[in-house]
A and B are shown apart, each in its own frame.
Chain A
Amino acid sequence: MLEIKGLKVKLEEEDKQILKGVDLTVEAGKVHAIMGPNGSGKSTLSYVLSGRDGYEVTGGSATLLGEDLLDMETEERAAAGLFLAFQYPVEIPGVGNMTFLRTAVNAQRKARGEDEMSAAEFLKVIRAKAKTLKIDADMLKRPVNVGFSGGEKKRNEILQMAMLEPKMCILDETDSGLDVDAMKLVSEGVNALRDEGRGFLVITHYQRLLDHIKPDVVHIMADGRIVKSGGPELALEVENNGYADILAEVA
């Protein structure tokens, strides 16, 4: 599904290397988790895969279903099936949440040569999905993320994911700022999307999210590299002992 090989990335504006050769393959139907200390480059990886400005790829490659991701515009990557649930979802005053989602859904369909979703159909689908995420009609009408609490923003990300039905989902610290109930809602939302044909890359600091969204593979990222990979037990190890032991071991 997602294949990253030797990916090296530096900041465009400064001479600072952030990713120093990332190798990672997420297979269809699998959930991979990335853990790692703050500043190790996890968000950068997700941004570079999405095509955000400000980074320069200095080596390596990234493909989605065999297609070169790094060569596409951000919106083309989305239409190709890539989705990033943002660590910090952006507020967009003046754009209604519903308008935003409908525009996005139809833009992706159009890009893939599919028929657009009618207003009525869209409404039906979004209402049902919003309900399971406990997103009320008012939140759908309000401007995108404006005045949303931290938890509401994250639930809104999952709603977008559910509506867009991407092939490869990257979740960047979707659990941060969530209370226990919200964490459950979000995890259920994610689990509902787990599917043979879909891959997940879940970036998190905490084991507790992985209690709900059970990963197949756990990676530890440090200083711009994946330094260790393993099964779900690796996350437990981090939870119990922190990163120090692992980092000392690979050093």
Chain B
Amino acid sequence: MALDDRKMTATEERLSSMTLPDVGCTAKAREAALVRVRSMGLPGRRDEYWRWTRPDTLVQPEAPEAALFQGDEVPFFSGRDRLKIVFVDGVFDPARSDDLNLEGIQVDRLEDICCTDDHWAEDLYGELEAAGHDPVDRPLAALNTAFAGDGVAIRVMQTPSKPISLVYFHESTDSDVFLHHVVRVETGAEVTILENGPAAARFNKCMEIDIADGGTLHHVRAQGRDHERRAVTHMFARMGEESVFKSFTLTANGVLTRNEVMVELTGDNAVVHIAGACMGDGDFHHDDTVFITHDGVNCESRQVFKKVLCNGATGVFQGKILVKPDAQKTDGYQISQSLLLDGDSQFYAKPELEIYADDVACSHGSTSGAIDEEALFYLRARGVPHGKATDLLTLAFLAEALDEIDDETIAEEIYERLEAWLSRRRHG
């Protein structure tokens, strides 16, 4: 189908100022990705998939400026024993990073991936993204594959002793950043990947994840709360037999966030949980778009998204479970809920099931509501002040999403941070 003129013009306008970077041995993948961008066109306001999220500022040639957040809080995961890989406005910073050698894993910068013994990273770069446009186009991911300036290839051969922690600093008010990571978890290995930080004024990140049979990936991400930052992220995961992928994302503020997650359960008996907790207080927009394809027998998928919104914040959830004809005994669950703390906030949800197998159990639900007045009265009748009671109920609302984090100490850290944010909000 020919692109409409407006879309073509916007796409070419964006591309006109960009040149394909020469990084590692990704040239072929980048050229192919550029062709995909041109044929799909960058997202426009009239695209059904962008019905509730305006893509304009993600597409326009110049990144809108984003003031740096003057916070005094300690970055997430500080003090935790981890392998730190730091990017400042999208550029790897060896000085702030740890030594990348860690037993069981191999970490290479994109520019070095040709030096690796085999070509797994080169092969994976752009592969899952290219396969991830059916049935919905994700042109901003293709744009990322074409133009990513930096990123890492992480190969997990054996379970490492500590989490790998990707840290993104935002230090320039007009940084426009593309990062692209590829991750392969080999058979039987288990790893935790952490991500945190605001990253850039405009951040486009893509992560391609290949989990071999019996591999396990835990992913916990805390997206920075710089008020004016914009982010569009894609995770493409391909999962083998009996593999496990558990991902949790905390999103707080940020003028615009669109997180897309695409998972392809290709092997039997695999388990994927994608969860998100989001807190928007002000003119912020958070969009979680998830697409899970069941193509193996007896796989389990869960999507759990909770959004707390107030003072004009908007939450969006688009989640789909697609069960292919042979994916019998699929267990699919999806819940998306918003807690609207005032009348100024909005939540849009589009839960979808598309099922072609007959022996499956899939359920989904979506709700939007205010604080439970009965519960609030009960707490107050026991002496808990109104504000504190509201916080407790807000945290309780988010709990189901936080429960998806397997590591209790990480879950606790996130819970405590949320608690502190809520209390600070009350006390100014």
B380 with A84: CB separation less than 8 A: no
The reply on A56 being an interface residue by CB < 8 A is: no
The reply on B385 being an interface residue by CB < 8 A is: yes
A103 with B393: CB separation less than 8 A: no
B392 with A104: CB separation less than 8 A: no
B379 with A160: CB separation less than 8 A: no
- Interface size class on chain B is 20 to 34
B377 with A52: CB separation less than 8 A: yes
The reply on B102 being an interface residue by CB < 8 A is: no
Contact with B along A183-223 (1 / 0, CB 8 A): 00000000000000000000000000000000000000000
Interface residue from A52, A75, A90, A99 paired with B385 (Cβ < 8 Å): A75
A104 with B399: CB separation less than 8 A: no
The reply on B375 being an interface residue by CB < 8 A is: yes
A94 with B397: CB separation less than 8 A: yes
Interface residue from A90, A93, A103 paired with B378 (Cβ < 8 Å): A90
Question: Which residue of B has the minimal Cβ distance to A160?
Answer: B382
The reply on B374 being an interface residue by CB < 8 A is: yes
Contact with A along B95-122 (1 / 0, CB 8 A): 0000000000000000000000000000
A95 with B396: CB separation less than 8 A: yes
How far, in whole Å, are A83 and B378 apart by their CA atoms in the complex?
11
How far, in whole Å, are A91 and B379 apart by their CA atoms in the complex?
11
B contact residues around A79 at 8 Å (CB): 383
A95 with B393: CB separation less than 8 A: yes
8 A Cβ contacts from A89-133 to B: 89-95, 99-101, 103-105, 107-108, 111
A contact residues around B385 at 8 Å (CB): 73, 75, 107, 111
The reply on A148 being an interface residue by CB < 8 A is: no
B383 with A104: CB separation less than 8 A: yes
A53 with B373: CB separation less than 8 A: yes
How far, in whole Å, are A107 and B387 apart by their CA atoms in the complex?
12
The reply on B386 being an interface residue by CB < 8 A is: yes
B contact residues around A78 at 8 Å (CB): 380-383
B383 with A164: CB separation less than 8 A: yes
Question: Which residue of A has the minimal Cβ distance to B395?
Answer: A94
Given A92-B375, A94-B397, verify A103-B392 contact (CB < 8 Å): yes
The reply on A174 being an interface residue by CB < 8 A is: no
The reply on B283 being an interface residue by CB < 8 A is: no
Shortest beta-carbon distance, A82 to chain B, in Å? 8
The reply on A243 being an interface residue by CB < 8 A is: no
How far, in whole Å, are A53 and B381 apart by their CA atoms in the complex?
12
B contact residues around A51 at 8 Å (CB): 380-381
Interface residue from B372, B383, B389, B393 paired with A108 (Cβ < 8 Å): B383
The reply on A50 being an interface residue by CB < 8 A is: yes
The reply on B12 being an interface residue by CB < 8 A is: no
The reply on B388 being an interface residue by CB < 8 A is: yes
Shortest beta-carbon distance, A147 to chain B, in Å? 15
Interface residue from B378, B379, B384, B398 paired with A89 (Cβ < 8 Å): B378
8 A Cβ contacts from B389-414 to A: 389, 392-393, 395-400
Given A53-B373, A53-B377, verify A111-B396 contact (CB < 8 Å): no
Interface residue from A77, A92, A107 paired with B393 (Cβ < 8 Å): A92
Question: Which residue of A has the minimal Cβ distance to B380?
Answer: A74
Shortest beta-carbon distance, A99 to chain B, in Å? 8
How far, in whole Å, are A150 and B217 apart by their CA atoms in the complex?
43
Interface residue from A52, A104, A111 paired with B379 (Cβ < 8 Å): A104
B379 with A100: CB separation less than 8 A: yes
How far, in whole Å, are A111 and B385 apart by their CA atoms in the complex?
9
B contact residues around A75 at 8 Å (CB): 380-381, 383-386, 389
Could you tell me which B residues sit within 8 Å of A by CB distance? 372-375, 377-386, 388-389, 392-393, 395-400
**8 further interface pairs, Cβ-Cβ under 8 Å (given A90-B377, A105-B383):** A52-B381, A74-B381, A75-B381, A86-B381, A90-B378, A92-B393, A95-B392, A100-B379
The 6 nearest A-B residue pairs measured at CB: A94-B396, A78-B383, A108-B383, A104-B382, A74-B380, A94-B399
14 example contacts (A-B, Cβ-Cβ < 8 A) are as follows A53-B373, A74-B381, A79-B383, A86-B381, A92-B396, A93-B399, A94-B397, A95-B393, A95-B395, A104-B379, A104-B382, A107-B385, A111-B385, A164-B383
